[in-house]
Amino acid sequence: MSSTASNIDNTAPAARAPFVFATCKQGWEKALKDEAKSVPEGLRPAFMRPGLITWKCEVPPTADFVLPGIFARMSGHSIGTCKDAADLASKLGELKTHTLKLHVYPREFPEDGLPTDEWSRIDAFRTRLLKSLRDAGVAMDDDAETVLGDTVLDVIVEDDLTAPFFAGWHRHGAHSNPSPGGIPRAVIPIESPSRAWLKLVQALAFAGLETKGTHPLRGKIAVELGSAPGGASYALLQRGMRVMGIDPGAMDPRVLNFRTPQGGIPFKHLQMPAGEVAPEFLPPQADVLISDLNLAPAVMIRLVRKMQDQVHASLLILTLKINDRAVFAGLKENLTAIRDFAPGPVRATHLPGNRDEICVVAGQLG
Protein backbone atom coordinates (compact mmCIF):
# COMPACT_ATOMS: atom_id res chain seq x y z
CA MET A 1 0.00 0.00 0.00
CA SER A 2 1.38 3.42 -0.86
CA SER A 3 2.10 6.00 1.81
CA THR A 4 -0.38 8.37 0.15
CA ALA A 5 -3.31 5.93 0.15
CA SER A 6 -5.05 7.63 3.09
CA ASN A 7 -5.00 10.95 1.21
CA ILE A 8 -6.58 9.62 -1.96
CA ASP A 9 -9.96 11.09 -2.90
CA ASN A 10 -12.21 8.06 -3.16
CA THR A 11 -15.47 9.93 -3.77
CA ALA A 12 -17.40 8.45 -6.67
CA PRO A 13 -17.40 10.43 -9.91
CA ALA A 14 -20.75 12.06 -10.52
CA ALA A 15 -21.05 10.99 -14.14
CA ARG A 16 -22.54 7.58 -14.85
CA ALA A 17 -21.50 5.59 -17.86
CA PRO A 18 -24.45 3.94 -19.63
CA PHE A 19 -22.35 0.82 -20.21
CA VAL A 20 -20.81 -1.70 -17.81
CA PHE A 21 -18.31 -4.50 -18.37
CA ALA A 22 -17.25 -7.82 -16.90
CA THR A 23 -14.46 -10.27 -17.59
CA CYS A 24 -14.58 -14.04 -17.23
CA LYS A 25 -12.65 -17.13 -18.12
CA GLN A 26 -12.71 -17.71 -21.87
CA GLY A 27 -15.38 -20.21 -22.81
CA TRP A 28 -17.64 -19.21 -19.91
CA GLU A 29 -19.25 -16.16 -21.51
CA LYS A 30 -22.70 -17.80 -21.61
CA ALA A 31 -22.61 -18.44 -17.85
CA LEU A 32 -21.65 -14.80 -17.32
CA LYS A 33 -24.44 -13.54 -19.59
CA ASP A 34 -26.98 -15.76 -17.81
CA GLU A 35 -25.99 -14.30 -14.44
CA ALA A 36 -26.31 -10.77 -15.85
CA LYS A 37 -29.98 -11.35 -16.71
CA SER A 38 -30.98 -10.93 -13.08
CA VAL A 39 -29.25 -7.56 -12.55
CA PRO A 40 -31.76 -4.79 -11.66
CA GLU A 41 -30.03 -2.27 -13.95
CA GLY A 42 -31.52 -4.15 -16.92
CA LEU A 43 -28.44 -5.13 -18.92
CA ARG A 44 -28.52 -5.60 -22.69
CA PRO A 45 -25.40 -7.21 -24.25
CA ALA A 46 -23.52 -4.69 -26.37
CA PHE A 47 -20.06 -6.04 -27.16
CA MET A 48 -18.38 -9.38 -26.62
CA ARG A 49 -14.96 -10.86 -27.11
CA PRO A 50 -13.67 -14.05 -25.51
CA GLY A 51 -13.36 -13.29 -21.81
CA LEU A 52 -14.91 -9.78 -22.03
CA ILE A 53 -18.52 -8.60 -22.29
CA THR A 54 -20.09 -5.14 -22.11
CA TRP A 55 -23.76 -4.32 -21.56
CA LYS A 56 -25.90 -1.22 -22.01
CA CYS A 57 -27.79 -0.33 -18.83
CA GLU A 58 -31.48 0.54 -18.93
CA VAL A 59 -31.08 2.06 -15.45
CA PRO A 60 -27.93 4.13 -14.70
CA PRO A 61 -25.60 2.05 -12.51
CA THR A 62 -24.36 3.33 -9.15
CA ALA A 63 -20.69 4.21 -8.65
CA ASP A 64 -20.08 0.98 -6.78
CA PHE A 65 -21.69 -1.21 -9.46
CA VAL A 66 -20.50 -4.79 -9.47
CA LEU A 67 -21.94 -7.69 -11.45
CA PRO A 68 -23.08 -10.18 -8.79
CA GLY A 69 -22.60 -13.88 -9.17
CA ILE A 70 -19.86 -16.42 -9.64
CA PHE A 71 -18.45 -16.05 -13.14
CA ALA A 72 -17.54 -12.34 -13.35
CA ARG A 73 -13.81 -12.16 -12.64
CA MET A 74 -13.84 -8.35 -12.62
CA SER A 75 -16.65 -5.89 -13.39
CA GLY A 76 -17.41 -2.19 -13.38
CA HIS A 77 -18.18 0.78 -15.62
CA SER A 78 -17.16 0.63 -19.27
CA ILE A 79 -15.07 3.40 -20.83
CA GLY A 80 -14.57 1.59 -24.12
CA THR A 81 -11.81 0.72 -26.55
CA CYS A 82 -8.86 3.13 -26.57
CA LYS A 83 -6.08 3.37 -29.14
CA ASP A 84 -3.52 4.87 -26.75
CA ALA A 85 -3.05 6.80 -23.48
CA ALA A 86 -4.14 10.11 -25.00
CA ASP A 87 -7.36 8.53 -26.25
CA LEU A 88 -8.00 7.06 -22.80
CA ALA A 89 -7.34 10.37 -21.05
CA SER A 90 -9.79 12.12 -23.37
CA LYS A 91 -12.55 9.65 -22.37
CA LEU A 92 -12.13 9.84 -18.59
CA GLY A 93 -14.47 12.80 -18.08
CA GLU A 94 -15.04 13.50 -14.39
CA LEU A 95 -12.77 10.61 -13.45
CA LYS A 96 -9.88 13.01 -14.18
CA THR A 97 -10.78 14.94 -11.02
CA HIS A 98 -10.06 11.91 -8.84
CA THR A 99 -6.86 10.11 -7.92
CA LEU A 100 -6.95 6.74 -9.65
CA LYS A 101 -5.30 3.39 -9.14
CA LEU A 102 -4.22 1.64 -12.35
CA HIS A 103 -4.73 -2.09 -12.93
CA VAL A 104 -3.45 -3.53 -16.20
CA TYR A 105 -4.10 -7.16 -17.03
CA PRO A 106 -4.55 -9.43 -20.07
CA ARG A 107 -7.86 -10.39 -21.64
CA GLU A 108 -6.43 -13.79 -22.64
CA PHE A 109 -5.06 -15.71 -19.72
CA PRO A 110 -3.77 -19.32 -19.72
CA GLU A 111 -5.41 -21.44 -17.04
CA ASP A 112 -2.03 -22.63 -15.74
CA GLY A 113 -0.83 -19.07 -15.14
CA LEU A 114 0.87 -16.30 -17.09
CA PRO A 115 4.69 -16.65 -17.20
CA THR A 116 6.75 -14.10 -15.31
CA ASP A 117 8.25 -12.63 -18.48
CA GLU A 118 4.75 -11.89 -19.79
CA TRP A 119 3.84 -10.10 -16.57
CA SER A 120 7.07 -8.11 -16.95
CA ARG A 121 5.93 -6.94 -20.39
CA ILE A 122 2.57 -5.90 -18.99
CA ASP A 123 4.21 -4.11 -16.04
CA ALA A 124 6.43 -2.15 -18.42
CA PHE A 125 3.33 -1.16 -20.40
CA ARG A 126 1.63 -0.07 -17.17
CA THR A 127 4.63 2.10 -16.25
CA ARG A 128 4.51 3.86 -19.63
CA LEU A 129 0.73 4.28 -19.44
CA LEU A 130 0.94 5.68 -15.91
CA LYS A 131 3.43 8.34 -17.03
CA SER A 132 1.41 9.26 -20.11
CA LEU A 133 -1.78 9.66 -18.09
CA ARG A 134 0.01 11.88 -15.59
CA ASP A 135 1.42 13.95 -18.45
CA ALA A 136 -2.18 14.33 -19.66
CA GLY A 137 -3.19 15.78 -16.30
CA VAL A 138 -4.73 12.67 -14.71
CA ALA A 139 -3.98 12.16 -11.00
CA MET A 140 -2.59 8.63 -10.69
CA ASP A 141 -1.36 6.67 -7.68
CA ASP A 142 1.77 4.60 -8.35
CA ASP A 143 0.67 1.71 -6.15
CA ALA A 144 -1.60 -0.93 -7.67
CA GLU A 145 -2.60 -2.31 -4.26
CA THR A 146 -6.11 -1.21 -3.37
CA VAL A 147 -7.97 -0.29 -0.21
CA LEU A 148 -11.69 -0.05 0.39
CA GLY A 149 -13.22 2.78 -1.62
CA ASP A 150 -10.40 3.25 -4.15
CA THR A 151 -11.40 4.18 -7.68
CA VAL A 152 -9.57 1.80 -10.00
CA LEU A 153 -8.91 2.26 -13.70
CA ASP A 154 -9.04 -1.15 -15.42
CA VAL A 155 -7.00 -1.51 -18.61
CA ILE A 156 -7.41 -4.85 -20.38
CA VAL A 157 -4.69 -5.52 -22.92
CA GLU A 158 -4.17 -7.86 -25.85
CA ASP A 159 -1.09 -10.00 -26.38
CA ASP A 160 0.10 -7.31 -28.81
CA LEU A 161 0.60 -4.40 -26.43
CA THR A 162 0.65 -1.93 -29.34
CA ALA A 163 -2.95 -2.85 -30.21
CA PRO A 164 -5.97 -0.87 -28.92
CA PHE A 165 -6.97 -1.82 -25.38
CA PHE A 166 -10.24 -1.88 -23.45
CA ALA A 167 -10.70 0.41 -20.45
CA GLY A 168 -13.19 0.58 -17.62
CA TRP A 169 -13.27 1.51 -13.96
CA HIS A 170 -14.63 0.18 -10.70
CA ARG A 171 -14.92 1.12 -7.05
CA HIS A 172 -12.96 -1.27 -4.87
CA GLY A 173 -15.44 -2.80 -2.42
CA ALA A 174 -15.42 -5.19 0.50
CA HIS A 175 -15.93 -8.18 -1.80
CA SER A 176 -13.78 -7.05 -4.72
CA ASN A 177 -11.14 -9.53 -5.82
CA PRO A 178 -7.86 -8.21 -4.36
CA SER A 179 -5.82 -9.24 -7.44
CA PRO A 180 -5.86 -6.85 -10.43
CA GLY A 181 -8.33 -8.30 -12.90
CA GLY A 182 -9.00 -11.13 -10.47
CA ILE A 183 -5.80 -12.76 -11.77
CA PRO A 184 -3.27 -13.80 -9.10
CA ARG A 185 0.33 -13.86 -10.28
CA ALA A 186 1.00 -17.52 -9.73
CA VAL A 187 2.46 -20.14 -12.06
CA ILE A 188 2.67 -23.83 -11.22
CA PRO A 189 6.23 -24.53 -10.08
CA ILE A 190 8.08 -27.43 -11.67
CA GLU A 191 8.31 -29.24 -8.35
CA SER A 192 4.57 -29.11 -7.63
CA PRO A 193 2.94 -32.55 -7.36
CA SER A 194 -0.18 -31.39 -9.27
CA ARG A 195 -2.04 -28.36 -10.60
CA ALA A 196 -4.08 -28.34 -7.39
CA TRP A 197 -1.18 -26.16 -6.17
CA LEU A 198 -2.29 -23.38 -8.52
CA LYS A 199 -5.98 -23.61 -7.64
CA LEU A 200 -5.20 -23.45 -3.93
CA VAL A 201 -2.88 -20.44 -4.32
CA GLN A 202 -5.52 -18.64 -6.40
CA ALA A 203 -8.14 -19.47 -3.75
CA LEU A 204 -5.87 -18.05 -1.04
CA ALA A 205 -5.48 -14.87 -3.10
CA PHE A 206 -9.28 -14.65 -3.48
CA ALA A 207 -9.55 -14.98 0.30
CA GLY A 208 -7.01 -12.14 0.75
CA LEU A 209 -4.32 -14.41 2.20
CA GLU A 210 -1.58 -13.85 -0.39
CA THR A 211 -0.68 -10.28 0.60
CA LYS A 212 2.98 -9.39 0.01
CA GLY A 213 5.20 -9.30 3.05
CA THR A 214 2.76 -11.11 5.35
CA HIS A 215 2.57 -14.74 6.47
CA PRO A 216 -0.97 -15.23 7.78
CA LEU A 217 -0.92 -19.02 7.42
CA ARG A 218 2.34 -19.68 9.23
CA GLY A 219 1.84 -22.01 12.19
CA LYS A 220 -1.85 -22.61 11.37
CA ILE A 221 -3.48 -26.04 10.98
CA ALA A 222 -5.19 -27.25 7.81
CA VAL A 223 -7.23 -30.36 7.14
CA GLU A 224 -7.52 -31.27 3.46
CA LEU A 225 -10.05 -33.73 2.06
CA GLY A 226 -9.00 -35.34 -1.21
CA SER A 227 -5.36 -34.40 -0.75
CA ALA A 228 -3.60 -36.85 -3.11
CA PRO A 229 -1.25 -36.49 -4.83
CA GLY A 230 -0.53 -33.32 -2.89
CA GLY A 231 -0.46 -30.12 -4.95
CA ALA A 232 -2.60 -28.11 -2.53
CA SER A 233 -0.93 -29.63 0.53
CA TYR A 234 2.45 -28.66 -0.91
CA ALA A 235 1.32 -25.04 -1.30
CA LEU A 236 0.10 -24.99 2.31
CA LEU A 237 3.35 -26.49 3.59
CA GLN A 238 5.31 -23.85 1.67
CA ARG A 239 3.35 -21.21 3.58
CA GLY A 240 4.27 -22.64 6.95
CA MET A 241 1.11 -24.59 7.76
CA ARG A 242 0.76 -27.92 9.50
CA VAL A 243 -1.38 -30.12 7.25
CA MET A 244 -3.43 -33.26 7.70
CA GLY A 245 -4.23 -34.78 4.31
CA ILE A 246 -7.09 -37.27 4.03
CA ASP A 247 -7.18 -39.44 0.91
CA PRO A 248 -7.02 -43.18 0.15
CA GLY A 249 -4.58 -42.37 -2.64
CA ALA A 250 -0.82 -42.06 -2.36
CA MET A 251 0.81 -38.73 -1.54
CA ASP A 252 3.76 -37.43 -3.50
CA PRO A 253 7.13 -37.98 -1.76
CA ARG A 254 7.81 -34.24 -1.92
CA VAL A 255 4.87 -33.74 0.43
CA LEU A 256 5.67 -36.67 2.72
CA ASN A 257 9.32 -35.63 2.97
CA PHE A 258 8.67 -31.91 3.48
CA ARG A 259 10.48 -30.53 6.51
CA THR A 260 10.29 -27.29 8.44
CA PRO A 261 13.44 -25.17 8.85
CA GLN A 262 13.82 -26.80 12.27
CA GLY A 263 13.57 -30.31 10.77
CA GLY A 264 9.99 -30.94 11.88
CA ILE A 265 7.46 -33.04 9.95
CA PRO A 266 4.46 -30.77 9.25
CA PHE A 267 2.41 -33.21 7.15
CA LYS A 268 0.34 -36.18 8.30
CA HIS A 269 -1.46 -38.49 5.88
CA LEU A 270 -4.62 -40.37 6.79
CA GLN A 271 -4.78 -42.86 3.92
CA MET A 272 -8.50 -43.55 3.97
CA PRO A 273 -11.73 -42.13 2.53
CA ALA A 274 -12.89 -38.92 4.21
CA GLY A 275 -16.15 -40.54 5.27
CA GLU A 276 -14.34 -43.24 7.28
CA VAL A 277 -12.19 -40.98 9.48
CA ALA A 278 -12.95 -41.45 13.18
CA PRO A 279 -13.06 -38.28 15.32
CA GLU A 280 -10.08 -39.38 17.44
CA PHE A 281 -7.80 -39.13 14.38
CA LEU A 282 -8.64 -35.47 13.82
CA PRO A 283 -7.25 -32.35 15.47
CA PRO A 284 -9.74 -30.85 17.94
CA GLN A 285 -9.44 -27.53 16.14
CA ALA A 286 -8.31 -26.63 12.61
CA ASP A 287 -7.86 -23.18 11.14
CA VAL A 288 -8.65 -24.13 7.54
CA LEU A 289 -10.74 -26.97 6.10
CA ILE A 290 -10.13 -27.64 2.41
CA SER A 291 -11.88 -29.97 -0.01
CA ASP A 292 -11.18 -30.75 -3.64
CA LEU A 293 -13.02 -34.07 -3.59
CA ASN A 294 -14.05 -35.32 -7.02
CA LEU A 295 -17.62 -35.99 -5.92
CA ALA A 296 -21.05 -34.63 -6.72
CA PRO A 297 -21.52 -31.36 -4.78
CA ALA A 298 -24.29 -32.72 -2.55
CA VAL A 299 -22.12 -35.66 -1.47
CA MET A 300 -19.06 -33.46 -0.95
CA ILE A 301 -21.06 -30.95 1.11
CA ARG A 302 -22.33 -33.71 3.43
CA LEU A 303 -18.77 -34.94 4.02
CA VAL A 304 -17.45 -31.42 4.61
CA ARG A 305 -20.27 -30.66 7.04
CA LYS A 306 -19.50 -33.81 9.01
CA MET A 307 -15.81 -32.90 9.10
CA GLN A 308 -16.53 -29.29 10.07
CA ASP A 309 -18.59 -30.52 13.02
CA GLN A 310 -15.37 -32.14 14.29
CA VAL A 311 -12.63 -29.60 13.47
CA HIS A 312 -14.53 -26.28 13.75
CA ALA A 313 -12.41 -24.49 11.13
CA SER A 314 -12.76 -20.72 10.88
CA LEU A 315 -12.16 -20.82 7.11
CA LEU A 316 -13.46 -23.21 4.46
CA ILE A 317 -11.98 -23.46 0.95
CA LEU A 318 -14.07 -25.83 -1.16
CA THR A 319 -14.16 -26.90 -4.79
CA LEU A 320 -17.59 -27.70 -6.26
CA LYS A 321 -17.55 -29.79 -9.42
CA ILE A 322 -20.06 -28.58 -12.05
CA ASN A 323 -19.52 -31.06 -14.86
CA ASP A 324 -23.16 -31.51 -15.85
CA ARG A 325 -26.18 -29.25 -16.40
CA ALA A 326 -28.13 -30.52 -13.40
CA VAL A 327 -25.31 -29.59 -11.05
CA PHE A 328 -24.90 -26.22 -12.76
CA ALA A 329 -28.59 -25.48 -12.29
CA GLY A 330 -28.37 -26.40 -8.61
CA LEU A 331 -25.50 -24.09 -7.65
CA LYS A 332 -27.73 -21.77 -5.60
CA GLU A 333 -29.08 -24.67 -3.58
CA ASN A 334 -25.55 -25.99 -3.00
CA LEU A 335 -24.34 -22.62 -1.77
CA THR A 336 -27.37 -22.39 0.54
CA ALA A 337 -26.48 -25.80 1.97
CA ILE A 338 -22.93 -24.59 2.68
CA ARG A 339 -24.24 -21.43 4.39
CA ASP A 340 -26.13 -23.65 6.84
CA PHE A 341 -22.85 -24.70 8.52
CA ALA A 342 -20.30 -22.17 7.24
CA PRO A 343 -18.27 -20.31 9.89
CA GLY A 344 -18.89 -16.97 8.15
CA PRO A 345 -19.97 -15.31 4.89
CA VAL A 346 -19.88 -17.50 1.78
CA ARG A 347 -18.36 -16.27 -1.49
CA ALA A 348 -18.02 -18.23 -4.72
CA THR A 349 -15.95 -17.58 -7.82
CA HIS A 350 -14.64 -19.23 -10.96
CA LEU A 351 -10.88 -19.09 -10.49
CA PRO A 352 -8.57 -18.70 -13.51
CA GLY A 353 -7.32 -22.23 -12.79
CA ASN A 354 -10.78 -23.76 -12.40
CA ARG A 355 -12.16 -25.93 -15.15
CA ASP A 356 -15.66 -27.43 -14.71
CA GLU A 357 -15.72 -26.36 -11.09
CA ILE A 358 -15.98 -23.32 -8.85
CA CYS A 359 -14.22 -22.23 -5.67
CA VAL A 360 -16.17 -21.46 -2.49
CA VAL A 361 -14.59 -19.53 0.38
CA ALA A 362 -16.50 -19.32 3.67
CA GLY A 363 -15.52 -17.51 6.85
CA GLN A 364 -12.13 -15.99 7.50
CA LEU A 365 -8.85 -17.01 9.06
CA GLY A 366 -9.03 -16.65 12.82
Whether the predicted pLDDT of 360 surpasses 90: yes
Please report whether residue 331 resides in a domain: yes
Q: What is the CATH number of the domain that holds 277?
A: 3.40.50.150
Rounded distance, CA 228 to CA 300, Å? 16
- Residue 12's pLDDT is what? 45
With pLDDT > 90 as the criterion, what percentage of the chain qualifies? 85
Whether residue 31 is found in the same domain as residue 54? yes
Residue type, 177: N
Please report whether residue 256 resides in a domain: yes
Whether the predicted pLDDT of 2 surpasses 50: no
Q: Which tens digit of pLDDT belongs to each residue from 103-161?
A: 999 999 998 899 999 999 999 999 999 999 999 999 999 999 999 999 999 999 999 99
Q: What is the CATH number of the domain that holds 113?
A: 3.30.2130
- For the ranges 3-7, 88-92, 135-139, 211-215, the lowest mean pLDDT is seen at 3-7
- Residue 174's pLDDT is what? 86
Domain that holds residue 80: 5-182
Per-residue confidence band for 239, with pLDDT thresholds at 50, 70 and 90: very high
- Residue 15's pLDDT is what? 46
- Residue 9's pLDDT is what? 41
Mean pLDDT throughout 301-305? 97
Whether the predicted pLDDT of 318 surpasses 60: yes
Q: Which tens digit of pLDDT belongs to each residue from 44-75?
A: 999 999 999 999 999 889 999 999 999 999 99
Rounded distance, CA 171 to CA 62, Å? 10
Whether residue 164 is found in the same domain as residue 28? yes
Whether the predicted pLDDT of 5 surpasses 60: no
Per-residue confidence band for 8, with pLDDT thresholds at 50, 70 and 90: very low
Please report whether residue 190 resides in a domain: no
- Residue 213's pLDDT is what? 74
Whether the predicted pLDDT of 77 surpasses 90: yes
Q: Which tens digit of pLDDT belongs to each residue from 165-206?
A: 999 999 999 888 889 999 999 989 999 999 999 999 999 999
Look at residues 62, 276, 69, 88 and name the one whose alpha carbon lies nearest to residue 165: 88
- Residue 314's pLDDT is what? 98
Mean pLDDT throughout 9-38? 80
Rounded distance, CA 276 to CA 273, Å? 6
Whether residue 214 is found in the same domain as residue 79? no
- Element (H or E) spanning 302, and its range? helix 297-311
DSSP single-letter state for residue 70: S
- Secondary structure (3-state) at 175: coil
Structurally, the chain folds into a number of domains equal to 2
Whether residue 158 is found in the same domain as residue 210? no
